[in-house]
Structures are given as structure tokens and as C-alpha cells.
Chain A
Amino acid sequence: MNMTKQEALFEYVLRAGDDSLILGQRLSEWCGHGPVLEEDIAMTNIALDLIGQATSLLAYAGQVEGKGRDEDKIAFLRYENEYKNLLLVEQPNVDFGVTMARQFLFDIFHFYFFKGLLNSADTQLAAIAEKSLKEVTYHVKHSSEWIIRLGDGTEESHERIQQAINDMWSYTGEMFEMDQVDEIMIAEGIGIDLSKLKPMWHEHVKQVLERATLKMPEYGYMHLGGRQGNHSEYMGYILTEMQYMQRAYPNMEW
């Protein structure tokens, strides 16, 4: 199957948009349930940053596609296999530790991803990356500090955050998987080479885990499929909740 540049760009932007969208939706589940008021607001702020990024990216994906779909149509009216987010971001919150482990592993990826896109030949994508990078820089600080506090905290918090990192680890390999979409985008100077991003991610994660007195997990089996639209069992439930309004009241606006 040969893709045109336009098709590859649509897919590329969609993937990034879906990462932010689904993680934002997941994180927003904490709204009103945070462990303390301050953290409740912090997580909701971050969720809103992510939804904002998704808005910009999916609006752009709609433009690239050129079929008249706006960001709301793309966000709320696709079927499960049309979402191209990483499996990592759809994993359940479980508890605060698991939520922070998931967030931390993704935030560092997100940071280097947007940093790489600053030099994209696609000026629209570079502009979105520039705005998003400021937000993500704070996300990295926020989740890293929690990893350090929990790792270097009590015996129980240490044990539980180590387990959470271990559990989330098998979803990190997917971040660096590349296919035809990436190849075309790299050749066009639009996308970034994820194989070059991986060592930066690895080193950054390692440094924070060391400060947190946590062990870096071994690389083993990695779950894949999100980029092709093959999701974990959790995805359907997220979409049911997220799409409810548009499905129940088609074309409603507020």
C-alpha cells in the first residue's frame, strides 16, 4: 500500500492528536476525585492542556484531510479502530500511583516529541508543537516530582510506584515504533525519527528513576497496535463515555 504525503500527514497528526485526546479524557476522570484539592486541580489543568492540544491537532488533521470534518467530528464521531493513540494513554487510572507512572512515561516522550517537531518543515505542526511544549515542560516537572516523592517516600509508596512503573513499562515500546507514515514524514522533513528519540527518553526516565530510588525495568514484551487502531479492552468504555453526548444528541453544540 502506497500512501500519499497528504494521507501520511493526516495519519501523523491524527496519532498525535489522539494521544493527547485520550490521555486528557483519562486524566479528567480524576476531576473531583484527586487525593488533595491542590492535586485535583493540577490534574484537571493538565487534562485541559491535553484536550487543548487535541483540539489544535485534530482541527489541523481535518484541514489536511480536506473532507470537511472539524475537530469535534474527528474527536467524537469515529469508531474505535479509527483512533490511533498509544495503548499506554488508554490504560485505566487504577490509583494515583499508576496514573502518575503512566503520565510520567508519556510526558517525557511527549516532551521530546514536541521538541523535535519545533523544526518540522510543516509550519502549522511546528507552531502547535511550540505552544504545546511549554505545557508539556510543566507536565514533565509535575509527574517527575511525584515519581521521586513516591519512590523516595514510604516503604509502601516506594513499592507501589515501582510496581506501577513495571506494569506500565510494556506499553512504552509502542512509542518508538515506526511505519510507512513515519518514513514519509521523515523524508518530507515534517516528522521526527523516533529511533533517535528513544535514547533521550531512556536517559531522562533513568535519571528520574534513579533520583526516586526506583529500578529501571527490563525491556521485554511490548504491547503494540494502537497506531493501527487495535486497542485494549478499555478503549470502548472510554469512547462510550466520551462520545455519549454526540451520539445521543447528534450535532449538538454548546
Chain B
Amino acid sequence: MSNAEWPLWEVFIRSKQGLDHKHVGSLRAADAEMAIDNARDVYTRRSEGVSIWVVESENVFASSPEDADSFFEPSNSKVYRHPTFYKVPDGIAHM
């Protein structure tokens, strides 16, 4: 018997009201079809979704935690990038 583990897959689910697929977790499966089936069983059994995407985890490239300072820190001091300095004209609701 082989003890090799099945590859890891990342699972994305679109909920009924949602417009986008959101990452919900990961699971193991031998191939894409099994990954979809497993995702259905593991992540949609309480009616969480109407559509599933799976991506093999090894195909996801991630930013490195070591880059966090140079990547994300600089934007913390750039408040002017947020559109909070405009006066909202009268009569515009829902802003």
C-alpha cells in the first residue's frame, strides 16, 4: 500500500448572495474532480454555496512574510490614498 498523500487543494466557494468566490479552506484529493466532490461534501453541507472552485495549492504563489514590512508598511502612512477628503454633495444618499 502506498503511503503517499494526495495533493492539497485550496477551496473557493461562492455563496448564494455572494458575487465572488471566497477562500474557505483546503483539503486533499487525488485529482481536480475528486477535489470538487470533496469540497462539496466538506464545505457545502450546510448550504454554504452555489459554486465551487478548487486550485491545487502548489499553484498558489504567496507573498513572503519576510516582505511584509516593505510590502505593506509603507501604505499605512498614506492616508490620502483613502477617498475620505471629499465633501459629499447634499442629496446623495447611501455613501
Q: Hey, which bits of chain A sit against chain B, CB under 8 A?
A: 36-39, 41-42, 45, 138, 141-142, 145, 149, 154, 156
| Contact with B41, one of A38, A149, A154 (Cβ below 8 angstroms) | A38
Inter-chain contact A38/B33, CB cutoff 8 Å? no
Inter-chain contact A38/B30, CB cutoff 8 Å? no
B80 to chain A, nearest CB (A): 48
A140 to chain B, nearest CB (A): 12
Collect the chain A residues with CB atoms within 8 Å of residue B40's CB: 138
Would A38 and B42 be within 8 Å (CB), given that A141-B37, A149-B30 are in contact? Answer: yes
Chain B residues touching A, range: 10 to 19
| Contact with B42, one of A41, A138, A145, A154 (Cβ below 8 angstroms) | A41
Collect the chain B residues with CB atoms within 8 Å of residue A145's CB: 33-34, 37
Inter-chain contact B38/A42, CB cutoff 8 Å? yes
Inter-chain contact A38/B29, CB cutoff 8 Å? yes
Q: Hey, which bits of chain B sit against chain A, CB under 8 A?
A: 1-2, 6, 27-30, 33-34, 37-38, 40-42, 45
Would A45 and B30 be within 8 Å (CB), given that A36-B6, A156-B1 are in contact? Answer: no
Question: Across the A-B interface, how many residue pairs have beta carbons closer than 8 Å?
Answer: 30
Given A145-B34, A149-B34, 17 new contacts (CB under 8 A): A36-B6, A37-B27, A37-B28, A37-B42, A38-B28, A38-B29, A38-B38, A38-B41, A42-B41, A45-B41, A45-B45, A138-B40, A142-B37, A145-B33, A145-B37, A149-B30, A156-B1
The 9 closest A-B pairs by CB, nearest first: A38-B38, A42-B41, A41-B41, A41-B42, A38-B27, A45-B41, A38-B42, A45-B45, A36-B28
Most buried by B among A39, A138, A154: A39
Inter-chain contact B37/A42, CB cutoff 8 Å? yes
What is the CA–CA distance of A150 and B30 in the complex, to the nearest angstrom? Answer: 12
Collect the chain A residues with CB atoms within 8 Å of residue B37's CB: 42, 141-142, 145
Collect the chain B residues with CB atoms within 8 Å of residue A36's CB: 6, 28
What is the CA–CA distance of A38 and B33 in the complex, to the nearest angstrom? Answer: 13
14 A-B contact pairs sorted by A residue (CB < 8 Å): A36-B6, A36-B28, A37-B28, A38-B27, A38-B28, A38-B29, A39-B38, A41-B41, A42-B37, A45-B41, A145-B34, A145-B37, A149-B30, A149-B34
What is the CA–CA distance of A42 and B36 in the complex, to the nearest angstrom? Answer: 12
What is the CA–CA distance of A141 and B2 in the complex, to the nearest angstrom? Answer: 25
Most buried by B among A42, A138, A142: A42
What is the CA–CA distance of A39 and B45 in the complex, to the nearest angstrom? Answer: 13
Most buried by A among B2, B33, B37, B41: B41
Of chain A, the residue at the smallest CB distance from B38 is A38
